[in-house]
Structure formats: C-alpha cells, structure tokens
A and B are shown apart, each in its own frame.
Chain A
Amino acid sequence: MKKLFIGAIMTIGTFISTIGLSLADELLVPHMTYRVGPYAANGTMVANGFTDYFLMLNERDGGIGGVKVNPEECETGYKAQVGVECYESYRGKNALVHTPNSTGITLQILQKAPEDGVPILTMGYGLSAAAKGETFPWAFNYPASYWSQMTSILSYIDSQSGLKGKKIGFLYLDVGYGREPIPVLEELGPKMGFETLYVPVAGKEMQNQSSHWLTIRKEKPDWVIMWGWGAMNPTAIKEAAKTRFPLDRFIGNWWSGAHVDTEALGSKAKGYLASSYTTTGTSFPAIQDMIKYVVEPGKSKTKIDMPGKVLYNRAMFNAVLIAEAIMEAQKMTGKKMVTGADVRLGLENVKLDAARLKELGLEGFTAPLIGGCADHENGGSIFVQQWDGSDWIRQTDLIPPMTDVVQPLLTAAAAKYVSDKSGWQTQTCK
C-alpha cells in the first residue's frame, strides 16, 4: 500500500514536472477555439480552417522559414471568462499572436496585450476602434472593422432600393459582438434619412425568435440587417421564411452567412443575402494543397466536405495573414525564432498584393491587403453573396466602406477608449 502510494506520487510528480518544459524551436500560434458549446457548429469550421493551413505549411514547406508552427488550440466554448484564462495560460510562453475568435474575449484582453508584448489579430471581429493603429499599436482588425462593414452593407442597400425614408430592422445577438455596430446606425440614420428598428436577441433566446419576428412583422421594416452567430442565424432565416419576410431583403453580416447557417434549410433559405470578404470553393491551389497534405491523409479533424465552405476558407485566410506576418517578421529581424513584438511589426508591414496572393495560390480570393502603421484595418472592402438553395454565390464587386463617415467615428471611439486609462501605450506613425 505504502509503496503503491509513493509510486503514485512519483508518477504524478513526473507528469507535473514535464508541464513546465515548453517545446523549443516552434513558432507558437495560440488559437482560442470553441468546438463545444452552443456555437460549436461555427466554431469547429473556424478552428479547422485555421489549424489546417499551418499544418499544411509544416507538411509542405517544413513550417515558416524552416521552423515548424504549433497552432495550439485553447478551448473557450465562446465564453469570455474562459478566454481570459486561456490568455493567462500563455503568459511567458512566447506566443506570437493571439486569435481570440470572439469579440467578448477581445474586449477583455485588449488592455493586457501591450504589457505582454503579444499582438492581437481579430480578423473581422473585435473592437472597431482598434483600426486606429496609433492608439492601438497591439491590436489589428484586418481587413475591415464592423463599422466599415456596416457602412458597406448600407451602401449596398442604398444601391438596391435607396435608403431615404426607409425603415431598417437591425436584428442582433445581444452581446458585445452584436452591439458593436450600433454607433454607426445612430450616426448614419439621421444623415441618410432612414429609421432603425433595434431587435436584440438574448443568447438564451437565440433558438426561439418568434417574438422578435412578430415585432418585425408588425413594424414592417423594408430591410433587415442581421448581426448573428451560432444557432441564431438558421433560426432567424427560418423565422423570416415563416413570416414571409422577403429573403432578398434580409442581409446578414459576414458571420451570418455561412454554409452551416443555410445548408440545413436548403431551398427554404434561397435568396438570403450576406456580406463576406473571402471567396468560397476549393478551386484555389492553396486549398488544394491543404486537402492534399492535411485533410486527405487524415492529419487533422477536418472532414473532406469542409474545405471550400465559407467559414473554413475565412479562417484559413486568417492563418494566411498570420503566416505572412511571421515571414515578414523573420525577414525584418533576420531571426528564425521571432517574438510577439517582431510579429507586431510583421503585421504592420504585411504585403498581400495581387501578385503575392497569386504566389500563395489565392488569386482573386480576397481584396489585396497592405498593412500599415496607422491603419490597422486596411480599407475594408466587402462583397455581397447570396444563397441559391445549395451554395453561396458572389453577387457584387467589392463595395468600399464610407471612409468619411467611419474614420471620424473611429477616431472619437479610440479617444474615448483611452480617456480613462492612465499610462496607455500609443505609437506615432511616420
């Protein structure tokens, strides 16, 4: 008994002592995922696309600059508090860049990033004001902020049916993410002459939206814009079809228009619109490589039908941008093992122009993206896609945001954010 006890203690001791040893000679790219919980259907696609690209680089090119990448996952369940715990667990481990995959988590770790010297890249989510690189040196929201996206969607509606005198319904998930674009609507409503009907959907009610759609039916908005996520999206589309709201007047943001949202509904969701900044499909050589090196040999958790779908491709582009930033950082510093501060510089100097995109096997996949010191959002053009009953079809050319509207708002928001924070670290750009 005694021997057994001592043996057990020694075994546990050995296990614990190995935890502290970090794996040397790896580029650690932590990735906060949610493969469990109410948003798992979307989270799994995002996690797979992100991880697969790095695994493919490891298999095909031996990593980045000859160093293997470790795209380590930390499971959050889309809970902000768990995300903070994840963040804390990477302190002192030389993480290169954080990918919180949740606006709620981003808002909570934003203040800590300058202290730890690890940048945060929130591609297509996060705090809009982070686009101001001079105020937020450590946060990036390439390729567009939520505010830019909202103005692009509004100009799309304007081009379709005109905005003046119209009533716009705004259906949103009532968390930090969904509330993010409200300032833009409040600013633009009086200017462009439309009225906004706010319909918040609490997380608990997202699968039961009959009361929300009753409001919409009563108020009869001309268009409905949705900021939804997870199970909220298919429920909303289903309810819209049920209440006979015209689906081609119902437009989701880029997180509300994925295959997981519409596939189960099939032809019932036909006509539903959504914005996006990445193209679907597997015809790109980079995605072919991912299938060849990672998915088909079974080296990841990806099922063969996942590549090419909206969220998979978008998460892959997130990984592409990080890989490019790491490569840029290696080039700038001459080191192979870069640090978080180097990758921050890499993100500011990243050059994904048309030629580079073609080189990467992603020709025409997205708008060119040129990093900058002062502009951490980079233009932010989007396009609109439509569900044809079986797939998402791109409908428009790139729609630029209303920069003249968004920029002053971003500047004011950035100033407000730092106003009550003493000792906030800023930077000056040439």
Chain B
Amino acid sequence: MFYRETGQFKSKYREELAAFPLAEDKVGIAILLVIAYVFIPIFGIPGLSYEFTMGAIMIPVFIFTITTLGLNILLGFAGQISLGTGAFMGVGAYSCYKIMTIFPDLNIIICVILSGLVTAVVGMIFGLPSLKIKGFYLIVATLAAQFFLEWAFIRVAWLYNYNDSGGIEGTNKEMFGLIVSGPQSDALTRYFIVLTLLVLLTWLASNVIRGRIGRSWMMIRDMDIAAELIGVRPLTAKLSAFAFSSFYVGISGALMVFFWLGAAEVESFDVSHSFTYLFMVIIGGLGSITGSYMGAALVWVVPVLIKEIGKTVFGFDAFVMENFSIIFLGVAIVVILIVEPHGLARLWQITKQKLRLWPFPY
C-alpha cells in the first residue's frame, strides 16, 4: 500500500539504475533531508536540551555513521575483516592535526579531506597482507596495525608536536568569517558541516558501490577464485577497498577530534573503539548503506539515552546506569544476531515488504 511500485514504469536503463528507482524512496529521502537540515537545527529533538541533542547525539552519530560506512565498505562489500578501525581514525585525526599546524591558513575542510587521503595510503599499506591471507589471519594482521599505530601515537612525539599533554587539540578555525571548529565554534555550525560531509560521502559510496569497482568488491567477497577467473584483479579490488574504506574512516577520525571532542589522546583510538565500530556494522547489517546509519544510531544513541533517562527520570546513580548500558548493548547484540543475523537493515527490508502489502496480508 505504502510501498507500491505498480504503475512506476521505467523506459530507460538509466532510470532502472538510478540510486532510488522508486518514487516512495525519493520522497522518503527528501523528508529525511528536510528533517536533518531544517527541523532538527530549529527545534532539536523534543524533550532533550538543545546542547545535549547536538553535542551528545546528532554530531557523534553522524561522525560514527561515516566510520561505519567506511568499515562496511571493507567488511560488508569487500569481505575483508579489519580490527584496526580505531587506529585508522587516529591516523586521520593525527594527520589532520599535523597538516593544520604545518599549514595554519589551510581551510579546515581541505585538511579533513587530505587527512582522509593520508589514511587511505596508510590503509593500503596495512591492507597488503590481505593479498596473501584472509579470514582469521587477516584479523590478526589488522590487529597488529592497531597496536603498532597506538604505539606510534604515544612514542612518536612529532605526531603531537611534542606537547606536554601528549594529546592533540583543535584551535579556532575560521571559514568565511565564521568559526567552524575549535572551542569557540557553535555546535550548529559544526552540525551542518558534519551533516553535509555525511550526505556527500553517502552519495559517493552508494555510487561507487553500484558501479564497476563496487561490483568487483562484491565478487571478491562472494568467491575470490571465481572473480579472478572472470577477470577481476584481486590486487586492485582488495587494495582499492582498503583505500576507499580508510578514506572514510580517516575523515571520520579527523571530524571526531576537530568537530566534536575538540581534543584527543591515544585512548580515543584504542582497540575497544575498533570493536564498537565493528558492532555498529554488524548490528546495522553487513553490506548495506542504510544499515550503517541504523547501526551507528542504535549503538551510540541507545546507551546515551539510557544513561540520561535513568539519571534524570528515575534518579539512578550514574555508575549503575553506566553498567546497565554496557549490559544492554551486549544483550542487544546477542538478541539481534539471533533474531536477525543480517542486522537492522534486513529488518527494515522486511518492514518494507510488509508495507507493500499492507493492509492485506497476501
């Protein structure tokens, strides 16, 4: 009923290949964009304070969605598992910091994109083992990358400009006369920048995935020998997946430090964060862009809301809610994986299928 494709005829291949072939999808995306660009900036989320909405929910969710998109490209589309996501975010953050201090007048958005490119190169280097090994062995190789990079963030003092604190921190950066990053920046400005980057990166990812490169990734994922036999070069396919994924992850790392936290030290890029991003991908759904959004939102927002509601409405102690939200996340992962191993994205597909027939069961 809601999702009826009857009567929507396509007369060209172009139309069939469009990102959103259904009119309903186009309307839905337009509504979401209007909500994100107009309603939330004006009204916030009803019931939550504006600062809390922006600083603790919206901005981090958008940033983690970019991370999840990146990891999903590698894990869900190219089938190469990585436990180094946290450290690759660190590469993005530290390289953005270095670029910013070496070229103080460079536009911060360009810094962020350059740091994504640096991360892509680093990702490709650590992706080289994937040509020889796969599965569990590749996990170990990426875990080694994680530990090596963590070590470098502590021991190579050049990376943090020999600060006494051993961390990196953002300073005020202007763009068109508006402070966009640093302690004096307005949350709303940062929100719009992060949101716009997210929209652009999603658009890019969806097009790359539907194109020739994306298809070669999926062929490698489904059966690498068969893919090789019909002409996909594993070297290009695997390394391009690592590069593309690391590009996203690096950008999200730079955004996390300079558009959300304001400062960071190595602890923000440790292995437990890598696991969190892996949970986001798995809960959201492997190989799905919508799933990346849902996974990041669920894993990030639900614990934050649990803590806030528990504290302010029920008056529980902070540490009780902390423990409770950890338990909740663990249980949620297990339950979702039992009920629907393909993640929230699959649940959404089922819902769409139901909406198509509603209100008739058949």
Say yes or no: A89-B52 contact (C-beta < 8 A), given A73-B318, A75-B318, A108-B263: yes
Interface presence of A159 (CB below 8 A): no
B contact residues around A35 at 8 Å (CB): 318-319
Interface presence of A302 (CB below 8 A): no
A contact residues around B49 at 8 Å (CB): 19-20, 22, 92-93
Interface presence of B55 (CB below 8 A): yes
How distant is the Cα of A413 from the Cα of B321 in the complex, in angstroms? Answer: 39
A contact residues around B261 at 8 Å (CB): 81, 84, 108
A contact residues around B309 at 8 Å (CB): 15-16, 19
How distant is the Cα of A89 from the Cα of B312 in the complex, in angstroms? Answer: 12
How distant is the Cα of A20 from the Cα of B45 in the complex, in angstroms? Answer: 10
- 0 or 1 for each of A69-96: is its CB under 8 Å from B? (1 = yes): 0001111010111001100110111000
Interface presence of B184 (CB below 8 A): yes
Say yes or no: A89-B47 contact (C-beta < 8 A), given A35-B319, A74-B318, A75-B319: no
Say yes or no: A19-B55 contact (C-beta < 8 A), given A75-B318, A79-B267, A179-B164: no
How distant is the Cα of A89 from the Cα of B311 in the complex, in angstroms? Answer: 12
Contact B48–A20 (Cβ < 8 Å): yes
How distant is the Cα of A16 from the Cα of B46 in the complex, in angstroms? Answer: 8
Question: Considering only CB atoms and an 8 Å cut-off, how many residues of chain A contact the other chain?
Answer: 49
How distant is the Cα of A107 from the Cα of B184 in the complex, in angstroms? Answer: 16
Interface presence of A404 (CB below 8 A): no
Binds B, one of A269-277, A353-361, A390-398, A415-423: A415-423
Smallest beta-carbon distance A179→chain B, Å:
6
8 Å CB interface, B282-306 against A: 304-305
Contact A92–B51 (Cβ < 8 Å): yes
Interface presence of B224 (CB below 8 A): no
A contact residues around B56 at 8 Å (CB): 85, 88-89
Smallest beta-carbon distance A137→chain B, Å:
14
Contact A107–B308 (Cβ < 8 Å): no
- 0 or 1 for each of A8-34: is its CB under 8 Å from B? (1 = yes): 000001011111101000000000010
- 0 or 1 for each of A99-121: is its CB under 8 Å from B? (1 = yes): 00000100111011011000000
B contact residues around A174 at 8 Å (CB): 154
How distant is the Cα of A80 from the Cα of B262 in the complex, in angstroms? Answer: 12
How distant is the Cα of A36 from the Cα of B311 in the complex, in angstroms? Answer: 16
Contact B172–A108 (Cβ < 8 Å): no
How distant is the Cα of A84 from the Cα of B313 in the complex, in angstroms? Answer: 22
Contact A19–B308 (Cβ < 8 Å): yes
- 0 or 1 for each of A388-430: is its CB under 8 Å from B? (1 = yes): 0000000000000000000000000100100011110000000
Smallest beta-carbon distance A298→chain B, Å:
14
Contact B313–A88 (Cβ < 8 Å): no
How distant is the Cα of A392 from the Cα of B268 in the complex, in angstroms? Answer: 37
B contact residues around A183 at 8 Å (CB): 164
Interface presence of B323 (CB below 8 A): yes
Interface presence of A281 (CB below 8 A): no
How distant is the Cα of A183 from the Cα of B165 in the complex, in angstroms? Answer: 11
Which A-chain residue is minimally distant from B322 (CB atoms)?
A75
> Which of B164, B305, B319, B321 counts the most A-chain CB atoms under 10 A from its CB?
B319
B contact residues around A109 at 8 Å (CB): 262-263
Contact A104–B47 (Cβ < 8 Å): no
B contact residues around A413 at 8 Å (CB): 164
Which B-chain residue is minimally distant from A88 (CB atoms)?
B55
8 Å CB interface, B1-57 against A: 46-52, 55-56
Interface presence of B207 (CB below 8 A): no
B contact residues around A17 at 8 Å (CB): 46-47
Which A-chain residue is minimally distant from B154 (CB atoms)?
A174
Of the candidates B267, B307, B311, the one whose C-beta lies within 8 Å of that of A81 is: B267
Contact B171–A108 (Cβ < 8 Å): no
> Which of A108, A174, A176 counts the most B-chain CB atoms under 10 A from its CB?
A108
Smallest beta-carbon distance B320→chain A, Å:
9
Nearest 8 CB-CB pairs, A to B? Answer: A16-B47, A35-B319, A88-B55, A17-B47, A91-B51, A75-B322, A108-B263, A75-B318
Apart from A16-B46, A74-B318, what 5 extra A-B contacts exist at CB < 8 Å?
A18-B313, A80-B265, A89-B308, A107-B165, A108-B262
Q: Write 30 A-B pairs (CB below 8 A) sorted by A numbering.
A: A15-B309, A16-B46, A16-B47, A19-B48, A36-B319, A73-B318, A74-B318, A75-B321, A79-B267, A80-B265, A81-B264, A81-B268, A85-B304, A88-B51, A89-B52, A91-B51, A92-B50, A104-B265, A108-B169, A108-B264, A108-B265, A111-B183, A114-B183, A115-B184, A127-B164, A175-B166, A176-B166, A179-B164, A301-B317, A423-B184
